[in-house]
Chains A and B, each alone.
Chain A
């Protein structure tokens, strides 16, 4: 290799590196909040939804003069849905970016991996999507992990109850996506079924990228399932619904909220409305003041055409409320110190949020911002998510 071409190669690399280092830098006195979420890959939509909710809340806070007189800045990191990447990102946000709090994304395993680090470094960590029970119920004292989202164990109880009251289910079959989230609900649903004295017809797993899950459903049908309880994201959930339709099996479907993370209606087609599922918020319900404002922001900033166009609505809703709650806590604590923020979070008063009006949302023993009463059962009506009739 000649020296000239060698020099050119080095220069090419150098230019590429320099271009990437020139990303915008935040000012030192700003209050930084971090987000570790899936921004690429299959769950990228969730990261985008959370980003929107956080950004709208932060801009609103900054428009009113920020927190403690300082501007709030969002620092985002992609975890690629991988726990080690998430751990690296969280450590970077905590140690190098010196954020004041970290928000977590859709993946329960990533959040579970971040929990010990958050508690170790006294960093408030707020889950705005991942519903795994162990995230908040982690045995640490003091516990720095909060959640403004559903919790699997509670959702599972609600799902079983809904299946038996609404559809008279006596032998539900479970269809779970083969990942950590499916497994978390596997445990929760079995426990909930046992508590409700309901026998399960069987538990079948589907892959994130299955094309046809007829064999799984055929097994459940032979086992005598009278309802299906679905825990899956939009795409695999849709594959399940399509297989169900082709089998001509008119079995009721009760679903966790994962199917709302994408265009479930478009993916499934006509039978999308057959699935009744849980949400923490529906942009189709009559909105409160905050709801109107957030919708207006979504429309003006992100070109959203209406409620039907809001992808993964719970991510945006939860993230918005969580950021506002964090803002209140920082104001209350008059500090960005992790321990002070935690104490302030556990002692918040009232906040008229998007999902509901929060009254003392957290306490030292309860870090769940939302309760089963806040869950609503909804279904698709065309592209609209509407409360079940």
Chain B
């Protein structure tokens, strides 16, 4: 038995002993503590599983406390049966409250629950005939399980018993199908919906269950106190319950019991403090919250937690499954059976329209996605590709057009209903359930989000088989949040397959994968299609599109541009014009000719010496050493997960380095915060652009200039002029810009800072090739003007002509340093250093 279990048993023995031997007061307090723990268990379902904060549980407690007495007298039934009836009704009220609560998040949800608490308190006070109003109800009954009412001592024993019974019950719920889905909705609502989870139902169940348990606690508490009035259930009581859960340890089965000990029992020891007790209570709460981040349960399970953590971080790339055993092959064939749709059907979209405000995002788009084939959609950034997937999967509703799926049209079905019908998607930015293990992520989808349906026999084996099917070879028991990028893509794909799709919609599945990984991906997708699934993908990499798909559709500006076989589309002049931007994609270097001799006299700008850092469990870099002169361009190349971004974050100061030294202009940067580095002229253009979406283009540029204390209007105009694309968009919110425009803006923002050294992290990620070319042309100009650049990227054929120095990064280390770029053959370099992975 683990430490948590031992603690639980010890507490149970102590509580039962106290209940059996204590005086009136002690058993009363014990009863209050036990019922509070029971409320905590109910609240833990919301706080700990679905992640919803309720500040209105005193309201549920009040309902549970009043209903039995009212029901018992109106229906002439015993208090015990009335309590159970009251519990059901309270649960029903909770489920109903979840409907307004479902639509709101965070502080809005808190407000709804606060308001609910006040409504109940005032409602009881105002409904005098039924509740006795402010003067309350006395003479409250007692459950009579054996025909006669329980004695106070027996009642306390019952309360203690129920509070402790809630511990294994909660533990069971947490790992049950419902609990799994609850935790999934907490991590990513949209991903949960994409595998068929009915958010309304799951949330309503969590709310209802939480309320019902609280209602039962209310019935018992009322019986123990024998007097209730609206003032028994003030707002502060709701806060107390949240404290019980937080202090005990949110999401931990034993948490409410431990929390109740601190919040209810401990203050009783200090009742002698009289008026100073609340002050003391405040101090105690503050101290516990500060000192015990995971609550008391976290303290008790601390040793096992850290053990689990180190195991999780141990070499995630290592294959944990026994290699191809007979069992595994068995499982693989099960995966094949699972993936073959009983009734393959494709999807026919006709003339789809979608508007946002005045913007036409999609107009007259007709796409046919037949079963057993791979259909691809390409187009420049902002062409409406993701909008199309959002329409098909039900995330958006269409403003016009029809979607035929099998025999029936889809109508305005909700996203989870479409997922259950077999339309399953993945996301451009991977949406995994980060707190769930890899295996749980996949298993969550096995019942298409249905709570009542049983998982197929040996769901774990099937989930493993599906993971193997998509090429995932990592450990399956670590939290998905700890996975590197590539594995996240694979697990998301496996999860989508687990939902048994008939139509699989993939949003840029190849983004961020190396060329060899993309080859594997194409193979996997082809296999999936062969099972009779209709596969649809959005992709930028033409090589993937060419080798995988049978039909390609092209969108531009929300309108269909072309369609046909990959070869036909690739030859289409309009496509080349729109998508590639130029008929001659070969980059011609206009690199300034700067002799080696010229560089010797140039002072050292940046010196990285043996630097180590880590970003979560992944992205660990070690012993990285790079030297850079002023005015030079250095490239760091490597596949995703090689540690490039970690290095860039470390250099910019967003991440502290744990070993080695970083010297900028000869001065150490240790302990220098990111904003101070920016002021010194070390400026990062971060991965994924990270522009400020709600601010205009001009305001974004102005913000960039903060580092040098602002920018004059004339300088701003000069800066804008560098990026002709941005000039007409100057007052538009940056969030409405296309990906390429955003990248230009991010670059401009970096230049606005007046950098001594500009760091660029994956500047081409997610850009159409034509846009990437344009971007590198701009970088070229900057380099010509003498700006030092440090570029981390994978698209080597663009970077190479520009770079004076090339460092190859792999597995967190610099594996090669190639001075000078002119002599390096890009293809050879790429083969040598990327495809090895």
Which B residues lie within 8 Å of A92 (CB)?
A: 25, 29, 268, 271
Q: Identify which of residues 265-320 in chain B touch chain A, using a CB-to-CB cut-off of 8 Å.
A: 266, 268-275, 277-278, 280, 283-284, 287-288, 291-292, 299, 302
Of A21, A89, A96, which contacts B23 at CB under 8 A?
A: A96
Please tell me if the beta carbons of B229 and A20 are within 8 angstroms of each other in the complex: no
Q: Given that A1-B302, A16-B287, A39-B275 are contacting pairs, would A184 and B25 also be in contact in the complex, using a CB cutoff of 8 Å?
A: no
Q: Identify which of residues 8-25 in chain B touch chain A, using a CB-to-CB cut-off of 8 Å.
A: 23-25
Please tell me if the beta carbons of B268 and A88 are within 8 angstroms of each other in the complex: yes
Please tell me if the beta carbons of A95 and B271 are within 8 angstroms of each other in the complex: no
Q: Identify which of residues 356-388 in chain A touch chain B, using a CB-to-CB cut-off of 8 Å.
A: none
Please tell me if the beta carbons of B274 and A180 are within 8 angstroms of each other in the complex: no
Please tell me if the beta carbons of B231 and A179 are within 8 angstroms of each other in the complex: yes
A1-19: CB near B (< 8 Å → 1, else 0) gives 1000010010011001100
Please tell me if the beta carbons of A109 and B135 are within 8 angstroms of each other in the complex: yes
A307-326: CB near B (< 8 Å → 1, else 0) gives 00000000000000000000
Bound: A71/B231 CA distance, A: 36
Q: Identify which of residues 352-383 in chain B touch chain A, using a CB-to-CB cut-off of 8 Å.
A: none
Q: Tell me the smallest distance from the CB of A188 to a CB of chain B, in Å.
A: 12
Please tell me if the beta carbons of A112 and B225 are within 8 angstroms of each other in the complex: no
Please tell me if the beta carbons of A95 and B23 are within 8 angstroms of each other in the complex: yes
Bound: A76/B270 CA distance, A: 12
Q: Given that A16-B284, A96-B26, A116-B139 are contacting pairs, would A76 and B274 also be in contact in the complex, using a CB cutoff of 8 Å?
A: yes
Which B residues lie within 8 Å of A83 (CB)?
A: 136, 225, 227-229, 231-232
B133 at the interface (CB under 8 A from A): yes
Of B125, B135, B136, which contacts A178 at CB under 8 A?
A: B125
Please tell me if the beta carbons of A80 and B138 are within 8 angstroms of each other in the complex: no
A87 at the interface (CB under 8 A from B): yes
Bound: A178/B273 CA distance, A: 30
A73-106: CB near B (< 8 Å → 1, else 0) gives 0011110111110011101101110000000000
Q: Identify which of residues 264-285 in chain A touch chain B, using a CB-to-CB cut-off of 8 Å.
A: none
Bound: A113/B28 CA distance, A: 14
Please tell me if the beta carbons of B32 and A88 are within 8 angstroms of each other in the complex: yes
B134 at the interface (CB under 8 A from A): yes
Q: Given that A9-B291, A112-B227, A121-B24 are contacting pairs, would A184 and B135 also be in contact in the complex, using a CB cutoff of 8 Å?
A: yes
Q: Identify which of residues 601-642 in chain B touch chain A, using a CB-to-CB cut-off of 8 Å.
A: none
Please tell me if the beta carbons of A13 and B271 are within 8 angstroms of each other in the complex: no
Bound: A96/B125 CA distance, A: 33
Q: Tell me the smallest distance from the CB of B310 to a CB of chain A, in Å.
A: 14
Most A-side CB within 10 Å, residue of B266, B272, B284: B272
Interface of A is mostly: helix
B581 at the interface (CB under 8 A from A): no
Q: Identify which of residues 1-46 in chain A touch chain B, using a CB-to-CB cut-off of 8 Å.
A: 1, 6, 9, 12-13, 16-17, 20-21, 23, 39-40, 44
Of A47, A88, A89, A109, which contacts B231 at CB under 8 A?
A: A109
Bound: A207/B227 CA distance, A: 24
B234 at the interface (CB under 8 A from A): yes
Please tell me if the beta carbons of A20 and B225 are within 8 angstroms of each other in the complex: no
A202 at the interface (CB under 8 A from B): no
A177-196: CB near B (< 8 Å → 1, else 0) gives 01111111000000000000
Q: Given that A109-B134, A112-B135, A113-B136 are contacting pairs, would A78 and B275 also be in contact in the complex, using a CB cutoff of 8 Å?
A: yes
Most A-side CB within 10 Å, residue of B136, B139, B271: B271
Residue of B nearest to A75 (CB): B272
Of A6, A44, A113, A178, which contacts B229 at CB under 8 A?
A: A113
Bound: A107/B134 CA distance, A: 11
B226 at the interface (CB under 8 A from A): yes
Of B23, B24, B234, B275, which contacts A82 at CB under 8 A?
A: B234
Which B residues lie within 8 Å of A16 (CB)?
A: 283-284, 287
Q: Tell me the smallest distance from the CB of A49 to a CB of chain B, in Å.
A: 13
Q: Tell me the smallest distance from the CB of B727 to a CB of chain A, in Å.
A: 54
Residue of A nearest to B227 (CB): A113
Which A residues lie within 8 Å of B302 (CB)?
A: 1, 6
Which B residues lie within 8 Å of A96 (CB)?
A: 23, 25-26
Residue of A nearest to B290 (CB): A9
Q: Tell me the smallest distance from the CB of B236 to a CB of chain A, in Å.
A: 8
Please tell me if the beta carbons of A87 and B24 are within 8 angstroms of each other in the complex: no
Of A21, A75, A87, A179, which contacts B269 at CB under 8 A?
A: A21
Q: Given that A96-B23, A180-B134, A183-B135 are contacting pairs, would A78 and B229 also be in contact in the complex, using a CB cutoff of 8 Å?
A: no
Which B residues lie within 8 Å of A39 (CB)?
A: 274-275
Residue of A nearest to B231 (CB): A109
Residue of B nearest to A92 (CB): B25
Most A-side CB within 10 Å, residue of B135, B138, B228, B288: B135
Bound: A150/B166 CA distance, A: 47
Q: Tell me the smallest distance from the CB of B812 to a CB of chain A, in Å.
A: 26
Bound: A84/B236 CA distance, A: 13
Residue of A nearest to B262 (CB): A13
Please tell me if the beta carbons of B284 and A84 are within 8 angstroms of each other in the complex: no
Q: Given that A16-B284, A88-B29 are contacting pairs, would A134 and B135 also be in contact in the complex, using a CB cutoff of 8 Å?
A: yes
Bound: A115/B273 CA distance, A: 24
Which B residues lie within 8 Å of A23 (CB)?
A: 270, 272-273
Bound: A92/B287 CA distance, A: 27
Q: Given that A87-B225, A87-B227, A96-B23 are contacting pairs, would A78 and B287 also be in contact in the complex, using a CB cutoff of 8 Å?
A: no
Identify 24 residue pairs between A and B in the complex whose beta-carbon atoms are under 8 Å apart, listed by A's number: A12-B287, A12-B291, A17-B266, A20-B273, A21-B270, A23-B272, A44-B275, A77-B271, A78-B278, A83-B231, A84-B225, A87-B225, A91-B28, A92-B25, A92-B268, A96-B25, A107-B231, A109-B134, A109-B232, A113-B227, A115-B138, A134-B135, A180-B133, A183-B135
On A, residues with C-beta under 8 Å from B are 1, 6, 9, 12-13, 16-17, 20-21, 23, 39-40, 44, 47, 75-78, 80-84, 87-89, 91-92, 94-96, 107-110, 112-113, 115-117, 121, 132, 134, 178-184
On B, residues with C-beta under 8 Å from A are 23-26, 28-29, 32, 125, 128, 133-136, 138-139, 221, 225-229, 231-232, 234, 266, 268-275, 277-278, 280, 283-284, 287-288, 291-292, 299, 302
Q: Give the 9 A-B CB pairs with smallest separation, nearest first.
A: A95-B25, A39-B275, A180-B134, A113-B227, A91-B25, A95-B23, A23-B272, A183-B134, A95-B24
